[in-house]
Amino acid sequence: MERDQDVLAVQTALGRFPVVGIIGARQAGKTTLARAIAKRQLGPVTHFDLEDPADLARLADPRLALGDLRGLVILDEIQRRPEIFPTLRVLADRRPRRVRFLVLGSASPDLLRQGSESLAGRIHYHELKGLSLSDVGRTRLKRLWLRGGFPRSFLAKSETESVAWRRALIRTFLERDLPQLGVQIPAETLRRFWTMVAHVHGQTWNASEFGRAFGMADTTVRRYLDLLTATFLVRQLQPFHENLAKRQVKAPKLYVSDSGLLHSLLGLHDERDLEGHPKVGASWEGFALDEVVRLMGARAEDCYFWATHAGAELDLLIVRGRRRWGFEVKKTSAPSLTRSMHIAMKDLRLDRLDVIHAGRDSFALAPKVRAVALADVAAK
């Protein structure tokens, strides 16, 4: 499945930076994307897979292995050898520049701290997410929502095969991938924590509640949350607050990043299970918000939610400079204007408010307010 926008973004970054990192959850398609980029290169391409013992042996002395290479060098699963980053800094600073590096990793720059510090100013990170509506087409919206955006889950021949693949991914992540990152948390403990996050998907984080459930300090459960966030499996949407004469919510909202993984953690196997579950609305909300964020090209630091203790709220607020766009998600085919929306428009001084819904048609609700069918989002 072609992902031309991602290919173009990475190619552009390679023209500007000596090192480009493709980061994202495991099995999101980073290696496939790197191969697509490699096919378009005019010069030589060298590929190292750091999960291959032979390639690991070749990189025992990184300077010796990489020093004489030309063209494009791909280092896959770089989180397994973060000590390579200082060598990349030395090679990236050579003049004339004879090589560019494409590094693929399943952990955020914050978790790969050594790399983010060593290559400051020399590396550009491109986050690769799962498949989106733009990739698969509006006619396969329900399938994308149910199975999630991991390519192998979405493209599986049956629901049973898709569910089995996601279960295996969860198990592999907990039992193998995290220990390779140096995480010493028992797999079963982290599974319970991740499952609990799934049950509060779309709700605000309450460290004390999680701490009591696990019999641990708030700081410990916060570390678990940050770990799942740094490996792209949980998304934290930060609260927006400013000097209004209202008490505002100041804890982040939690979302399992992929709707398919959310459904597996909740034990939902098919559309009937999902439609009958209490979290169906929250699942739809997380799925829709992710599509909107991609459409807007918004960075994580541009995205917020807003809520007051009096009950007014906004599912998503995107802020760029002086411009503010608001988004509400309703799993209904007949959305209407609510008092909460009026308050958000006024208090947040929104330039526009879109109500993303599950119906077929998009239409105006009021001045600066429109109802937008989720199926239309990719075409906007």
What's the confidence (pLDDT) of residue 246?
Answer: 67
Q: Residue 42 — pLDDT band, cuts 50, 70, 90?
A: confident
Selection from 208, 205, 299, 207 nearest residue 252 by Cα: 205
Q: Is the pLDDT of residue 311 over 60?
A: yes
Residues 317 and 333 in one domain: yes
* Cα separation, 246 vs 366, whole angstroms: 25
The answer to whether 143 and 260 have CB atoms below 8 angstroms apart is no
What's the confidence (pLDDT) of residue 108?
Answer: 83
Residues 83 and 229 in one domain: no
Average pLDDT, the chain: 91
In terms of Cβ atoms closer than 10 Å to its own Cβ (0-12, 13-18, 19+), residue 277 is middle
The answer for residues whose C-beta is within 8 angstroms of residue 244's C-beta and 6 or more apart is 308, 347
Selection from 86, 15, 13, 71 nearest residue 41 by Cα: 71
Q: Residue 226 — pLDDT band, cuts 50, 70, 90?
A: very high
What's the confidence (pLDDT) of residue 116?
Answer: 58
Range of the domain at 75: 4-127
What's the confidence (pLDDT) of residue 245?
Answer: 58
Q: Residue 179 — pLDDT band, cuts 50, 70, 90?
A: confident
Question: Could you say which DSSP state residue 176 is in?
Answer: I
What's the confidence (pLDDT) of residue 182?
Answer: 79
Mean per-residue pLDDT, 312-340: 94
Residues 57 and 176 in one domain: no
Domain boundary among 108, 127, 146: 127
Mean per-residue pLDDT, 35-62: 92
What's the confidence (pLDDT) of residue 380?
Answer: 53
Q: Is the pLDDT of residue 379 over 90?
A: no
How many domains does the chain divide into? Answer: 2
Mean per-residue pLDDT, 306-324: 91
Residue with tokens 């279960």: 167
Mean per-residue pLDDT, 44-66: 93
Domain boundary among 127, 142, 173: 127
Q: Is the pLDDT of residue 134 over 60?
A: yes
Which position has the higher pLDDT, 259 or 177? 259
What tokens appear for 129 in the block? Answer: 């997410």
What's the confidence (pLDDT) of residue 120?
Answer: 80
Cα–Cα distances in Å, from 124 out to 63, 188, 270, 351? Answer: 22, 35, 39, 31
CATH value at residue 220? 1.10.10.10
Residue 206 identity: N
What's the confidence (pLDDT) of residue 111?
Answer: 67
Alpha helices in the chain (DSSP H): 4-14, 30-39, 53-58, 62-66, 85-92, 113-118, 133-136, 141-147, 151-154, 159-172, 178-180, 187-199, 207-214, 218-230, 259-265, 271-275, 280-296, 339-348, 374-377
Mean per-residue pLDDT, 271-290: 96
The phi and psi torsions of 311 (rounded to 5 degrees) equal: 115, -15
Residues 116 and 233 in one domain: no
The answer to whether 10 and 35 have CB atoms below 8 angstroms apart is no
Q: Is the pLDDT of residue 117 over 70?
A: no
* Cα separation, 293 vs 315, whole angstroms: 12
Selection from 164, 105, 152, 135 nearest residue 3 by Cα: 135
Residues 71 and 138 in one domain: no
Domain boundary among 127, 157, 172: 127
What's the confidence (pLDDT) of residue 55?
Answer: 94
For residue range 235-254, what is the model confidence (pLDDT) as tens digits? 999 999 876 656 778 899 99
* Cα separation, 281 vs 31, whole angstroms: 33
The phi and psi torsions of 364 (rounded to 5 degrees) equal: -80, 140
Selection from 331, 32, 284 nearest residue 155 by Cα: 32
Q: Is the pLDDT of residue 72 over 70?
A: yes
Residues 72 and 145 in one domain: no
CATH value at residue 52? 3.40.50.300
Count CB neighbours of 250 within 10 A. Answer: 11
Residues 35 and 171 in one domain: no
The phi and psi torsions of 163 (rounded to 5 degrees) equal: -60, -45
Q: Is the pLDDT of residue 284 over 70?
A: yes
Q: Residue 315 — pLDDT band, cuts 50, 70, 90?
A: very high
What's the confidence (pLDDT) of residue 114?
Answer: 57
Q: Residue 121 — pLDDT band, cuts 50, 70, 90?
A: confident
